[in-house]
Amino acid sequence: MTAPKNLFVGQLNTPDRVALRAAFKGVFERRFYTNHGPLVAAFEDRVAERLGVAHVICVANGTVALMIAAKAAGLSGEVIVPAYTFPATVQALVYAGLEPALCDVDPSTHAVTAETVAAALSPKTAAIVGVHMWGRPCDVEGLSSLAEDRGLHLMFDAAHAFDISIGGRKVGGFGLCEVFSFHATKVLNCGEGGCIATNDSAFAAACRTAANFHDRAGDVETPLRINGKMSEAQAAMGLVGLETLDSVIEGNRARYAQYRDRLEAAPGVRFIDHAAGLRSNCQYVVLEVDPECAVDQMALIEAMRVNGIAARRYFYPGMHRAPPCDARHWNLPITDRLCRSVMQTPSGETTSRADIDRVCDVIEATIDNGTR
């Protein structure tokens, strides 16, 4: 009997290989591999069109995009950011010389709201970074009015949020900028990659300068530069991936619905809601294990691991308990609870209907054993 296939979290969607081969043929024929090549320029145009924004600056990855955006905005002082996020959100701010002021999140969406951010305001606050968690938007309206009232910069970490919308308007054009990731595990996959999207022309020019370590025509003044350039190979992956993005997202929605329907009646666990009138990309399928569940998060993860399913707790232990922020004491009870109760389950095109049934079987059996 063959062993069941290993299942991974993340998307792992493969762009069309024939189209990808053709795109790479052009790269080799031109022998122009990086430094603002034609495929990067074309990818920037296509992404800007898709997001409905004036400027897109493609860079090496989402983390570098966040660092560049923070530097190009000329920020100094404290930046309010959720502790419940991937480490890159906070690390990028620290690299840009800023002080993260960590805030809590909403228990149902796992994302920041105007209320959770307001609790972290101080006279040193320079900016707010909202994170659109799991492929659904955070409280854009509330954060925008708070930032406006207080005269603060507002940026969004939209690493999970490509092609999602709020009330018919695409995420990408809110705040000063929104930063996306095109990592291998995202709905749009460049292997590595990221971009800054903005409607502010002066800020876009500053980001372009900051992303390139030495002079080019049209450079503007920025506090610091780095090599953040996207390569032609990355752009080729992205351009080809855009062609199948709609079907990838449709597939994600179907997989999320199957998980949710299958485990609706399971005691003590529930999936974060991607329905509720939002146009989510279902980037991640995220299960929350309630305190009254017969088993805890780690028991479920371990049961999956022995069955070849790489489910994992995201995010742990929370940025308030990780360097460099753990040097200070933070009171973030919702973040603490989520770090102990949230886990990601496999999704993306490599996860079949039968695979999802297998994951759900393991979850149900583990809870059942725990109950008995």
Determine which residue in the list 19, 310, 322, 360 makes contact with ligand T4K, applying CB under 6 A.
Answer: 310
Burial class of 354 by CB neighbour count within 10 A (0 to 12, 13 to 18, 19+): exposed
Q: How far is the CB of 29 from ligand T4K (least distance, A)?
A: 27
Query: Is residue 10 a contact point for ligand T4K (CB under 6 A)?
Result: yes
Residue 101 · residue 127 · CB < 8 Å: no
Q: Does 153 bind ligand T4K (CB under 6 A)?
A: no
Binding mask 102-141 for ligand T4K (x = CB under 6 A): -----------------------------x----------
Query: Quick check: 94 binds ligand T4K (CB under 6 A)?
Result: no
Among 15, 37, 62, 241, binds ligand T4K (CB under 6 A): 62
The DSSP letter of residue 44 is: H
Distance CA 129, CA 172 (A): 14
Residues 174-233 that bind ligand T4K (CB under 6 A): 181, 183-185, 194
Residue from 51, 56, 57, 61 in contact with ligand T4K (CB under 6 A): 61
What token pair was written down for 84? 């419940």
Question: Which residue lies nearer to ligand T4K by CB, 34 or 185?
Answer: 185
Residues between 11 and 50 with contacts to ligand T4K, criterion CB under 6 A: 12
282 touches ligand T4K (CB under 6 A): no
342 counts as binding ligand T4K under rule CB under 6 A: no
CA distances from 133 to 18, 73, 162, 220 (A): 33, 23, 11, 33
Residue 329 burial class via C-beta count within 10 angstroms: exposed 0-12, middle 13-18, buried 19 and up: exposed
DSSP states along 343-363: EEE--STT--HHHHHHHHHHH
Q: What are the tokens at 182?
A: 């095109």
Strands 269-271 and 194-198, sheet pairing:
unpaired
Q: Is the CB of 156 or the CB of 293 nearer to ligand T4K?
A: 156
Q: How many residues line the site for ligand T4K (CB under 6 A)? A: 21
Stretch that binds ligand T4K, among 5-13, 169-177, 195-203, 240-248 (CB under 6 A): 5-13
157 binds ligand T4K (CB under 6 A): yes
d(CA 199, CA 217): 21
Give the residue closest to ligand T4K by C-beta.
Answer: 62
Residue 313 touches ligand T4K, criterion: CB under 6 A: no
Give Cβ neighbours of residue 76 (< 8 Å, ≥ 6 apart).
97, 98, 126
Binding site for ligand T4K (CB under 6 A): 8-10, 12, 61-63, 85-86, 88-89, 131, 157, 159-160, 181, 183-185, 194, 310
